Amino acid sequence: MVTLVGMQANFEDALKDLIELDYDAVEAYDAAINRLENQEFKEKLNIFKADHEWHIQELTNVLKKRNIDPPSGPSTGKQWLTKGKVVLANLIGDNVILRAMISNEIDTNTAYERISLREDMWSEAKDIIRRGLEDEKRHKKWLENTVLEKSEA
Spatial neighbors of 90 by CB under 8 A, at least 6 apart, are none
Residue with smaller CB distance to Fe ion, 64 or 138: 138
* Cα dihedral: 134, 140, 146, 152 (round 10): -130
Question: How would you classify residue 8: left for phi > 0, otherwise alpha for psi between -120 and 50, otherwise beta?
Answer: beta
Residue span binding Fe ion (CB under 5 A) among the ranges 10-18, 35-43, 69-77, 138-146: 138-146
CB 118 to Fe ion: min, Å: 20
Establish if 85 lies at the interface with Fe ion (CB under 5 A). Answer: no
| Spatial separation of the C-alpha atoms in residues 142 and 153, rounded to whole Å | 17
Does 49 participate in binding Fe ion (rule CB under 5 A)? no
Smallest distance, Å, CB 23 to Fe ion? Answer: 12
Selected binder of Fe ion within 27, 139, 142, 143 (CB under 5 A): 139
Separation of alpha carbons 129 and 124, rounded Å: 10
As measured in angstroms, the least distance from the Cβ of 25 to Fe ion is 6
Residue nearest to Fe ion (CB): 139
* Residue numbers at the binding site for Fe ion (CB under 5 A): 139
